[in-house]
């Protein structure tokens, strides 16, 4: 399995606060990798660096072998067509309908006709279990439904990779499991690569092929999910001791455990 994304010796600070002293991390094509860490450790910063919402102070950020760390805003446009993101708060446009929200990246691409956009919006909403809600407004939706609409928008234009920023935050256990199952289902059905950022350990074990632990500005462990519990790394022991672990990854046809 080849690497699709690689962070190499990345450094990032905000004023006097150093977030990354030496971030080195790889994401393999077709896998679900989850980045774990406590609040304030800079997990979401990695996602924003990858799509150019933030700029690294030093180091390389490679997408399919190309260093994008120094890209301009214009150069990031094609990268954002290949890599989409489900934001923590879903980031839906409240002034648009659900259908218009999901259609937004398709219209932005400028390569889809009206009928194709309409069909694709319907397909993606059906894929996340919300068929026929195109005319509803985001304000009419529950938190779990907003997350699913955000995911439908993220997969609308067939990205190669999806970034999930705390996808289960604020959700009840039923909706948390539903989102986790959708992460796996989307990976299997669309063949995408997924990078998940969370501090939700049960969800991480449920969805991940591999887990990476972020602590004190660097990755202290990057392991297959079935080896993570047995790691001797102190930061992992402290993190796991503070959180319940019990969720198991469900099997989908053809999924890799």
How many CB atoms sit inside 10 A of residue 104's CB?
18
Residue 252 lies in a domain: no
Q: What are the C-alpha distances in Å from 98 to residues 3, 7, 138? A: 34, 35, 6
Residue 251 lies in a domain: no
Question: What pTM value is reported for the model?
Answer: 0.89
Number of domains into which the chain is organized: 1
Pairing of strands 32-36, 17-28: unpaired
Q: What are the C-alpha distances in Å from 197 to residues 29, 42, 44? A: 17, 10, 6
Residue 248 lies in a domain: no
Residue 257 lies in a domain: no
Full domain range(s) for residue 187 = 3-241
Q: What are phi and psi of 162, to 5 degrees?
A: -125, 135
SS3 per-residue string spanning 87-107: CCCCCCCCCCCHHHHHHHHHH
Residue 250 lies in a domain: no
Predicted confidence (pLDDT) per residue in 136-192, tens digit? 999 999 989 999 999 999 999 999 999 999 999 888 899 899 999 999 999 989 999
Residue 247 lies in a domain: no
> Domain containing 219 — which CATH number?
3.40.50.300
Predicted confidence (pLDDT) per residue in 87-128, tens digit? 888 899 999 999 999 999 999 887 889 999 999 999 999 999
Long-range CB contacts (within 8 A, 24+) of 17-21: 18/217, 19/45, 19/217, 20/45, 20/217, 20/218, 21/216, 21/217, 21/218
Residue 153 lies in a domain: yes
Predicted confidence (pLDDT) per residue in 207-243, tens digit? 999 999 999 999 999 999 889 888 888 888 888 877 6
Residue 15 lies in a domain: yes
Which segments of the chain does DSSP mark as H helices, in order? 43-50, 73-82, 98-109, 114-127, 143-154, 173-190, 201-207, 225-228, 234-241
């Amino acid at each position: 399995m080849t690497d699709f994304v690689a962070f190499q010796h990345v450094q990032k600070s905000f004023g006097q606060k150093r977030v990354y002293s030496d971030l080195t991390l790889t994401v393999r094509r077709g896998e679900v990798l989850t980045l774990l860490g406590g609040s304030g450790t800079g997990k979401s910063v990695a996602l924003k660096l990858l799509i150019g919402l933030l700029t690294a102070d030093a180091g390389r950020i490679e997408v399919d072998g190309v260093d994008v760390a120094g890209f301009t805003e214009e150069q990031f446009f094609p990268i954002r067509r290949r890599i989409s993101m489900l934001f923590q708060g879903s980031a839906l446009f409240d002034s648009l309908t659900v259908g218009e929200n999901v259609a937004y990246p398709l219209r932005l691409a400028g390569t889809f006709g009206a009928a194709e956009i309409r069909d694709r919006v319907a397909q993606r909403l059906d894929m996340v279990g919300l068929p026929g809600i195109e005319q509803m407004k985001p304000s009419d939706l529950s938190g779990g439904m907003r997350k699913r609409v955000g995911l439908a928008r993220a997969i609308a234009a067939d990205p190669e990779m999806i970034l999930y920023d705390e996808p289960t935050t604020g959700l009840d256990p039923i909706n948390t499991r539903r989102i986790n199952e959708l992460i796996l289902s989307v990976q299997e059905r669309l063949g995408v690569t997924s990078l998940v950022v969370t501090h939700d350990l049960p969800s991480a074990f449920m969805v991940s092929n591999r887990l990476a632990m972020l602590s004190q500005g660097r990755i202290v462990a990057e392991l297959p999910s079935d080896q993570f519990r047995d790691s001797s790394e102190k930061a992992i022991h402290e993190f796991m001791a503070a959180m319940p672990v019990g969720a198991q990854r469900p099997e989908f046809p053809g999924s890799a455990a």
